[in-house]
Structure 1
Amino acid sequence: MVRNKNPLFNEEDNERIRNYMKEFGHYHNRFVRVSKLIPKYTPKQISNHWRNYLNPDLCHEPLGSYEKNFIIDWIHKRQKSRVNVFKKNFENFYHYENIINRNNGKNNILKQPRKYQQSNDIIPWKNVVRDLENQFNKRYSENKVRNFWNSRQKSILKKSRKQKQMQKTAEQKQVFILPATNKCPLPSNGQNDSSRISIASLLNDTSTCVF
C-alpha cells in the first residue's frame, strides 16, 4: 500500500492514535503496532506526531530562562566532550599509522579517519528532552527545544555576519595619505599648527595635488 509522504493528521486520526497509545503505550514497538492499525502513517510519523503534539504529558508553556540555559549548557558540554573524544581517537590513530608506516618503510601522508571527517554534530534531542524533564519536571516537545536552539544559532550567525560586514565597511572607509610629491608639499613637523594644511583641503584640491 502506497503511503502519503506528508500526510495531514486530522482530528479523527488523532483520537485513534490517543486510544491506541493507551492500549499499546507500554510496548517498545508501540508506534509500529499503531501504524499497522492506521497504515497511511509510518511509525516514524506517528512517533514524531505523538512526541510533539499528542502526548498528554507535554508542557505547552514557553521555555523559561532556566530551561534555555540548561539546554545551552547541555549541548555545549556534549560538544566539548565529543571534541575531546575525537582528539583522543585521532591521536591514537596517528600513533598507530606512524608505527605501521615506519615498519613498512613508507613515508605516507597521514589522512584523517573517515569516521571523524564529519564535522556536523548531531544532537540527540530525545536525551535533551529527557534530562530537561528530570531537571524541571516538565516535558517539552522535541520541536520546541530544537526550534529554540536553531533560532539561537541563526541569531548568533546573523550577528557575526553583521559585525564582519561593519568591520569590512570601516576598513574600506579608512583614508590612507600617500607620500607627498614636490607638487603637493606637506608641512613639516617643525611648522606651527596655524600653518598646517588640513587633510580635507589636500583631498579636495585636485588641481595642485597629484597622487
Structure 2
Amino acid sequence: MPLFDDTSKNIILNFKIQHGYDSNDYVGISRLIPPFTPKQIRHFWTNILDPRLNHSCLDKEEEDYTVTWIENRVLNGPINWGELINDIQQRFGKLRPKNKIKNFWYSRLRRHQNDQYSYYHS
C-alpha cells in the first residue's frame, strides 16, 4: 500500500469535514486521490486519520472490559470488532482504532498460548 502523503491526508480530512465524519463515501474520496482504493482509504481513516480516535495505550479497565466482552461472545461466532469498538466508546468515552483493539487481543492470545506451551514443554 502506498503511503499517504500530506496532500492525500488533507483531501481525506476536507472531504470528511464537508460530508461528515461518519460518511462512508470512500469511493468518492478515491476518485479525488486515484492511487488509493476505497478500502485503503477506509482503513487509513478508521485506524489512523480520524481526529476522534484515541491512540493512547489501553488502560487496565479497557483491557479487562475487552477480554470479558470477547470471552462472553467468542462461542457465538466471529468477533464483531465494530460492536466492541462502539461498546468501548459508550462505556469509556474513547473511540479506539479497530487495529489497536485487535492487536491487544491477538497479542494477549499469543502470549497465553506461549505460556501454556512453555508450561507443558519445560
TM-score (ref. length: structure 1): 0.55
Q: Which runs of 4+ in 1 moved over 3 A?
A: 26-29
Return closer, same or farther for 1:58/1:26 CA change in 2, 3 Å cut-off: closer
Residue 137 (1) aligns with residue 110 (2): no
Q: Report the equivalent of 2:78.
A: 122
User: After superposition, what is the alpha-carbon deviation per residue over 1:128-153, rounded to whole angstroms, capped at 9, x for unaligned?
Assistant: 11110000001111111111001100
1:191-206 equivalences under 5 Å are none
Decide which structure has the larger Cα Rg and report it: 1
Structure 1 unaligned blocks of 5 or more = 1-5, 83-120, 167-211
TM-score (ref. length: structure 2): 0.92
The equivalent position to 2:25 in structure 1, one of 18, 21, 30, is: 30
- What amino acid sits opposite 2:85 in the alignment? V
The equivalent position to 1:19 in structure 2, one of 5, 14, 20, is: 14
Shift of 1:27: 6.9
Q: Report the equivalent of 2:38.
A: 43
Residue 153 (1) aligns with residue 109 (2): yes
Shift of 1:55: 0.5
- The number of aligned residues is 122
CA contact (8 A) 2:11 2:32 kept: no
Residue 74 (1) aligns with residue 69 (2): yes
Shift of 1:62: 0.8
CA contact (8 A) 1:35 1:41 kept: yes
Coordinate RMSD, CA, aligned: 1.5
Return closer, same or farther for 1:59/1:27 CA change in 2, 3 Å cut-off: closer
Q: Distance in 2 between matches of 1:69 and 1:16?
A: 38
More helix by share: 2
CA contact (8 A) 2:89 2:95 kept: yes
1:155-194 equivalences under 5 Å are 155-166=111-122
- What amino acid sits opposite 1:74 in the alignment? W
Q: Distance in 2 between matches of 1:26 and 1:140?
A: 15
